[in-house]
Amino acid sequence: MAAFEHPYVPNASAGPRRRLLDALGIADVEALYAAIPADLRVKGVLDLPAPLPAEQDLRRHVAELIEQNRGAGDLLIFRGAGCWPHHVPALCDEITGRGEFLTAYAGGTYSDHGKNQAVFEFQSLIGALVGLDVVTPPTYDAAGAANSALRAACRVTGRSGIVVPALMNPDRLEQMRGFVRPTAQPRAVRQDPATGQLDLADLEAKLGPDVGAVFLEQPGFLGTIETQGAAIAERVHAAGAMLVVGVDPLSLGVLAAPSDWGADFVTGDIQPLGIHMHAGGGCAGFIATRDEARLVAELPTTLISAAPAEGGGVGFAWSTPERTSYDTRHEATDYYGTTQWLWGIGAAVYLSLLGPKGLAELGEVIMQRSLYAARAVARVPGVRVPHLDRPFFKEFVVTFDKPGATVTAINRALLAHGIVGGHDVSRLWSGGPAMLMCVTETHDRAAIDRLAAALAEVLS
Amino acid sequence: MTAPRNGFHAARWNEPLIQDLSEPGARGLLPGAVEPAIRAGAGDALARVPAHVRRAAPPALPEVTQHRVVRHFTRLAQMTMGFDVTTDMMGTCTMKYSPKVHEHIVRAARLADVHPGQDPETLQGVLAILYRFNRMMCAIAGMDEFTFQPASGAQGIYTNACLIRAYHAARGELGRRDEIITTAFSHPADAATPHVAGFKVITLMPGPQGYPELAALEAAVSPRTAGLMLTNPEDTGQYNPAIRAFVERVHAVGGLCAYDQANGNPLLGIARAGDAGFDLCQFNLHKTFSAPHGAIGLGCAAVGVKEPLRRFLPRPVVTLDGTRYGLDDDRPDAIERIRAFLGNVPTVVKAYAWVMSLGTEGLRAVAETAVLNNNYLLANIRRIKGVAIPWPENTAPKLEQVRYSWEPLHNDTGVTTMEIEQRMVDYGVQHYMPSHVPVLVPQPFTIEPGESLTIEEMDHMIATLRAIAAEAYEEPEVVHHAPHHASVARVDDGIANDPATWAFTHRALAKKRAAWSKPRSAAAKRHAGY
């Protein structure tokens, strides 16, 4: 093949290519592909679009495609359900955009000391939020974190049964079903739709001797706040099972840490902590637990430990890699690979910026804005907010009385007003059309009032 | 001759932990107050939460000024050897240049601040990219449909295992087909993830050529075989020329074949998974397709399948109806979602931009150059005293990487590959990758140059390894006690492996640091059998 000029492939140019071929004493690179049988070789060229090697052409092309999207700059987004519109501080972007972090990979104690410290600090800051001593680096997402924790809890208890709340996030439940398929199928415990509270009698009934792990969301998927945490944990533990709680870490400036009321594992998504939504690419999870060797042994991820450096400083080392699927291979009980560490560094920046006061203030701001929004929406004729008299965090259910109304149709009509309405939870709610509305610190009074006015017009 | 980088010293800021920078009252960011109308309308929203559910004491987060946070994380960045900073040839990782223009593209608000649940009408740009890149990957791999949902190579391989499971389950054969076959030099995830998905896993060991003989496969296949999951070239850089026969043998007993293309960089435009008969495959967009490795993620595995497996791909699948793109969520036969939403969308956009920049000719130039570079390194590294090349019977050229051995050097000097790895940092290069498990090559080191580096940069790496080898022979103490010029002094990593002393958070460190000075338990043996 002829020489090829491109800045990403310097040695494809004629000069260097010639030098390399000469150094190897071969006339053509074909000689190096001798191991690949001729009948497996690509004949001709791949059917790909004509390339845009000039940077300005490439940038224009991709930017033109991206400009066909509309985002938070164009629309009022009242959608959460696993990925939430929050403010991203400039410094989070600044640090996650640093080339040293962005292009680092598997460097160890000495070559990537800074990366390892940043991720240790991520572990530490999440540990401070959830009140636990062991925290993993970022995992793939919240569901993946919960899945790993549930199967870990089952291995610790020597049982296989998994119990989940009936009103949990259905997409996350789907991920869970897939992951635990070889060992169990999750069984649902009733939640009172009117309050979002777990049905303790049903929990007791479901806590058979085979149950190893119980999952609970706090806040619940529908935004409600579970107030019986300690009673739930007590029952779970009395039955010999372990409690895995999925949290919104941003709520932990105002809500009690689940470890305080008995959670054995705490999991969640860090996207709210200074990470853009990125069409869902902003999601990343974490797993936290107590500092017990039997629990740590079941964690699937790398863990960064502090360790003494000569001369009195602190360094960082990857702990106990023999736990991970890299070492256990065909005996692996969970798997691990490249995860979402860059977002962990972003979340560490975020929590460092906010501090204890900021996180508490932000939690309160979100509760005030979402409550104001819920009340504003509930005043629209034909709209109800079933949990209006209960505490909720960031998200709340909205139902519609209008005969024949569907969330799809309402959202389409809202879009004409430049508004992305709530996530459709009609199937989960089973009481007519229902959407899960999300209100964060980014929604000011004007935005919320616009939502209420648009809803009124759409439903009139 | 190019010299190693003498006189280097990494930045060493002795930067405290962020918690230890806390000063009472310092603020890094103000969340802002709500408008009076919101306050009036909502009242004390927090008071509605019962006291026992409210946080009693604020979380122990640090209080740090914004500027100090900037400095802190900038200093940590400076103590990190990313590919932007220095040469990194870590084998199996396909380190390459991640074009800066991609980073600027994905920061656009209309990508960064987009919710995945928006009406597809408002996501036409991202859906167009996902759809088009899907067709492009099909052309590159010889497959019929891709999903970009998995967020890492391991998760992509796990997805392959789930697809194989769903295929056999749909045919009512899962119960009696419960074995997956892989090879010792395939990525550990090819053995691990099928086991997690419920399969028994059989690992084929390498023969005299460094990869398994067909006879080893013959002995392993049976009516119980659900599938074959492997890399080729394996992590040794050696291509198994009998791959077609492997695939045919597994197909003959009714199994599926999944091609882990984590080592696919030398094959772009050269050989396709589909043409070798594979039913499934997976590429790492954060490696082969230039998206940055992100300090260990944001990854993306592009998982491709042939037509009979399309119906099992997880929802949602991007569709094109005339000129409008949509999302198909109604997929009754699909495996369960692997990751939230659409996966790491920015990673896919970067990979799309990379292929659009290079085109078919460019992809082939990437592959050929990666192979050329690797063989140039091999020709030079094999001449360094103390280096051995495993499987001397195999005289075929290596493709994109080589697993070398320091066994002669270790026998002569006592210096280990792990010590050399640590010494590399003193010369201002990222360390190499020794080996995945199982460690079958004594004192292994694995080097993959990729296509991004100039001859001078390669010569510099060769000179560095030669210099360290010379040190091992002449002044081994220097290597034994390396590193000397890193961002941190030598660390006692035994502490990190002992339950009595490990500390994974600042709060744990506060409790356990006192135990660091006590004698350690037998459990605190250093990991790694090499």
Give B141-196 pLDDT, tens digit per residue. Answer: 999 999 999 999 999 999 999 999 999 999 999 999 999 999 999 999 999 999 99
Q: Is the pLDDT of residue B90 over 70?
A: yes
- Average pLDDT across chain A, whole number: 97
Reported as a single tens digit per residue, the pLDDT across A131-163 is 999 999 999 999 999 999 999 999 999 999 999
Contacts of A304 in chain B (CB under 8 A): 504
Please indicate, yes or no, whether residues A6 and A101 belong to a single structural domain of this protein: no
Query: Is B274:B141 a contact under the CB 8 Å cutoff?
Result: yes
Contacts of B365 in chain A (CB under 8 A): 1, 4, 6, 9, 12
Q: Is the pLDDT of residue A100 over 80?
A: yes
Which run of H or of E encompasses A46? none
Mean pLDDT across A256-268: 97
Please indicate, yes or no, whether residues A327 and A363 belong to a single structural domain of this protein: no
Quick one: pLDDT band at residue B525, thresholds 50, 70, 90?
very low
User: Tell me, what's the pLDDT at B6?
Assistant: 86
Interface test with A, best of B68, B86, B158, B357 (most A CBs within 10 A): B357
Closest by Cβ to B244, choosing from A37, A109, A227: A37
C-alpha pair distances (Å), B43 with each of A288, B33, B112, B123, B389: 34, 13, 34, 37, 74
Closest residue in A to B511 (Cα–Cα): A133
Closest by Cβ to B153, choosing from A1, A337, A411: A337
Please indicate, yes or no, whether residues A266 and A124 belong to a single structural domain of this protein: yes
Backbone phi, psi, residue A307, to 5°: -155, 155
Domain that holds residue A280: 90-350
Please indicate, yes or no, whether residues A262 and A382 belong to a single structural domain of this protein: no
Contacts of B131 in chain A (CB under 8 A): none
Percent of chain B with pLDDT over 70: 98
User: Tell me, what's the pLDDT at B419?
Assistant: 97
User: Tell me, what's the pLDDT at B177?
Assistant: 97
Mean pLDDT across B395-402: 95
Alpha helices in B197-344 (DSSP H): 214-220, 243-252
Mean pLDDT across B126-142: 98
Please indicate, yes or no, whether residues A311 and A266 belong to a single structural domain of this protein: yes
Closest by Cβ to B359, choosing from A48, A345, A348: A48
Going by C-alpha positions, the residue among A144, A213, A140 that lies closest to residue A183 is: A213
Who's near A447: CB < 8 A, 6+ residues apart?
A76
User: Tell me, what's the pLDDT at B410?
Assistant: 98
Query: Is B118:B284 a contact under the CB 8 Å cutoff?
Result: no
Q: Where are the domains of chain B?
A: 18-78, 106-357
C-beta contacts of B212-218 below 8 A and 24+ residues apart: B212/B183, B212/B184, B212/B240, B213/B242, B214/B242, B214/B245, B214/B246, B214/B249, B217/B181, B217/B246, B217/B249, B217/B250, B218/B249
User: Higher model confidence: residue A184 or residue B504?
Assistant: B504
Q: According to the CATH classification, is domain B106-357 in 3.30.70.360?
A: no
Taking an 8 Å cut-off on Cβ atoms, the answer to whether B376 and A296 are in contact is no
For chain A, what is the largest distance between any 2 Cα atoms, rounded to a whole number of angstroms? 83
Taking an 8 Å cut-off on Cβ atoms, the answer to whether A42 and B269 are in contact is yes
User: Tell me, what's the pLDDT at B523?
Assistant: 45
Q: Decide if B462 touches A, using CB distance below 8 A.
A: no
Taking an 8 Å cut-off on Cβ atoms, the answer to whether B452 and A10 are in contact is yes
Please indicate, yes or no, whether residues A273 and A296 belong to a single structural domain of this protein: yes
Q: Cα–Cα distance between B437 and A336 in angstroms, integer?
A: 14
In a domain, A59, yes or no: no
In a domain, A67, yes or no: no
Q: Decide if A190 touches B, using CB distance below 8 A.
A: no
Reported as a single tens digit per residue, the pLDDT across B190-227 is 999 999 999 999 999 999 999 999 999 999 999 999 99
Question: How many domains does chain A divide into?
Answer: 3
Residue A405: CATH number of its domain: 3.90.1150.10
How close B508 comes to chain A (CA, Å)?
5
Please indicate, yes or no, whether residues A435 and A293 belong to a single structural domain of this protein: no
Quick one: pLDDT band at residue B435, thresholds 50, 70, 90?
very high
User: Tell me, what's the pLDDT at B519?
Assistant: 62
Reported as a single tens digit per residue, the pLDDT across A398-438 is 999 988 999 999 999 999 999 999 999 999 998 899 999 99
In a domain, A121, yes or no: yes
Going by C-alpha positions, the residue among B358, B234, B321, B430 that lies closest to residue A54 is: B358
Please indicate, yes or no, whether residues A291 and A366 belong to a single structural domain of this protein: no
Helix (H, G, I), strand (E, B) or coil at B123: strand
Residue A97: CATH number of its domain: 3.40.640.10
Which run of H or of E encompasses B297? none
Residue A76 amino acid letter? L
How close B415 comes to chain A (CA, Å)?
18
Percent of chain A with pLDDT over 70: 100
Quick one: pLDDT band at residue B530, thresholds 50, 70, 90?
very low
Reported as a single tens digit per residue, the pLDDT across A175-217 is 999 999 998 899 999 999 999 999 999 999 999 999 999 999 9
Q: Decide if B215 touches A, using CB distance below 8 A.
A: no
C-alpha pair distances (Å), B208 with each of A441, B159, B386, B437: 64, 32, 22, 19
Please indicate, yes or no, whether residues A164 and A291 belong to a single structural domain of this protein: yes
User: Tell me, what's the pLDDT at B227?
Assistant: 98
Alpha helices in B79-114 (DSSP H): 100-106, 109-112
Which burial class, exposed, middle or buried, applies to B3 when counting CB atoms under 10 A from its CB (0-12, 13-18, 19+)? exposed
In a domain, A379, yes or no: yes
Q: Cα–Cα distance between A210 and A217 in angstroms, integer?
A: 22
Positive or negative torsion for Cα A63, A66, A69, A73: negative
Taking an 8 Å cut-off on Cβ atoms, the answer to whether B356 and A51 are in contact is yes
Percent of chain B with pLDDT over 90: 95
Q: Is the pLDDT of residue B528 over 70?
A: no
Q: Decide if B350 touches A, using CB distance below 8 A.
A: no
Q: Cα–Cα distance between A429 and A194 in angstroms, integer?
A: 10
Please indicate, yes or no, whether residues A37 and A160 belong to a single structural domain of this protein: no
In a domain, A69, yes or no: no
Last residue of a domain, one of A335, A350, A365: A350
How close A310 comes to chain B (CA, Å)?
6
In a domain, A54, yes or no: no
Stretch 393-452 of chain B: residues touching chain A, C-beta under 8 Å: 396-397, 399, 421-422, 424-425, 430-431, 433, 436-438, 451-452
Crossing angle (nearest 10°) for helices A55-66 and B124-141? 120
Please indicate, yes or no, whether residues A244 and A386 belong to a single structural domain of this protein: no
C-alpha pair distances (Å), B399 with each of A33, A348, B316, B354, B461: 7, 40, 36, 22, 19
Residue B299 amino acid letter? G
Please indicate, yes or no, whether residues A170 and A312 belong to a single structural domain of this protein: yes
Q: Is the pLDDT of residue B301 over 80?
A: yes
**Conformational region of residue B155, where left means phi above 0, alpha means psi within -120 to 50, and beta covers everything else:** alpha
Q: Decide if A45 touches B, using CB distance below 8 A.
A: yes
